[in-house]
Amino acid sequence: MRTTLIVGNWKMNKTASEAARFVRELTSALPRDPAVEIVLVPPFTALESVRAALGSASHLGLGGQNMHWEAQGAFTGEISGPMLRDLGCTYVIVGHSERRALFGERDGDVHKKVRSALLHGLRPILCVGESLEERESGRTEPLVTGQVAAALNGLSQRELDAITIAYEPVWAIGTGRAATTEQAVTVHRAIRKHIAAGWHHDTAGRMRILYGGSVTPQNAASLLSEPDIDGALVGGACLKTDSFATIALAAKNRPTH
């Protein structure tokens, strides 16, 4: 009942012209299957060229990597929800750990971004995850559910239906050391339980919870074999056609539950 979602987070990679070339190659390599939704998240500067390269009938969606919570104004260097919508984005990544760690984003900012995204018709992909130190001191679940609670505080059940959560342990991002399937499943279940307790078990049942952090063509099939893992947020491995296509195929071929 939850459509598998594979998101490619390009981070600060590819110019607009590189992006257009890449997308033309990628489109034909990715599966077209109603059971798998695929979303590309290039840098802001490449959104227009990616949209043009995809064409209007594309089966691939488009998202932004970040946004400001205000719709417009004196915020030099920032991008707003309406700007992303106007370029064809339907999703936006919010609260990525690189934003939190390198650019000082706090839970309160993430909350404002989630609210603003919803207001402007974008579906937030809310990233949460613990550091290695937090994991080793046994604080993973309270930490992660605390981030979820702070970001989604006060949202209605209907608003929650537009949200996707991405569990991305900080120690797994870009390190080549993914969480084991068991570690991911444990946290995904804790998040789902938290949503059920805070809202409704039907809301929790509809919520897509992705795993992110060193997802590769090698580990994707195992992660996606779990009913509690509804897809993947892919960084490094989404920058090459072969590896991203292999991950998307693993999603297409995942066992039906």
What residues act catalytically?
Answer: 96, 168
d(CA 212, CA 238): 12
Does residue 219 interact with ligand PGA by CB under 6 A? no
| Chain residues 177-196 in contact with ligand PGA, contact rule CB under 6 A | none
Rounded Cα gap, residues 224 and 245, in angstroms: 14
Q: Which CB sits closer to ligand PGA, 204 or 238?
A: 238
Q: Indicate the residue type of 205.
A: G
- Select from 236, 243, 245, 249 the one that contacts ligand PGA (CB under 6 A): 236
Q: Under rule CB under 6 A, which residues in 8-37 are in contact with ligand PGA?
A: 9
Contacts for 7 with CB less than 8 Å, ≥ 6 apart: 38, 39, 41, 63, 91, 93, 125, 166, 210, 212, 231, 232, 233, 234
**Residue 49 CB burial class (10 angstroms; 0-12, 13-18, ≥19):** buried
Using CB positions, name the residue nearest to ligand PGA: 235
As measured in angstroms, the least distance from the Cβ of 102 to ligand PGA is 12
Q: Which of 95, 213 has the CB closer to ligand PGA? A: 213
Binding residue (CB under 6 A) for ligand PGA from 105, 168, 226, 230 = 168
Contact 144, 107 (CB under 8 A): no
Would you give the binding string for ligand PGA spanning residues 121-160, x where CB under 6 A is met? ----------------------------------------
Going by the DSSP 8-state scheme, the letter that residue 180 receives in this structure is P
Between CA 2 and CA 4 the distance in angstroms is 6
Question: How many residues sit close enough to ligand PGA to count as binding (CB under 6 A)?
Answer: 13
Q: How big, in percent rounded to 5, are the helix, strand and coil portions of the chain? A: 45, 15, 35
Q: Per rule CB under 6 A, is residue 223 in the interface with ligand PGA?
A: no
Pick the stretch among 21-29, 73-81, 136-144, 235-243 that binds ligand PGA (CB under 6 A): 235-243
- What is the rounded CA–CA span in Å between residue 184 and residue 229? 8
Q: How far is the CB of 197 from ligand PGA (least distance, A)?
A: 27
CB of 157 to ligand PGA, least distance (A): 27
Contact 223, 18 (CB under 8 A): no
Any contact of residue 214 with ligand PGA (CB under 6 A)?
A: yes
Q: Which residues of the shown chain bind ligand PGA in the complex (CB under 6 A)?
A: 9, 168, 173-174, 212-215, 233-237
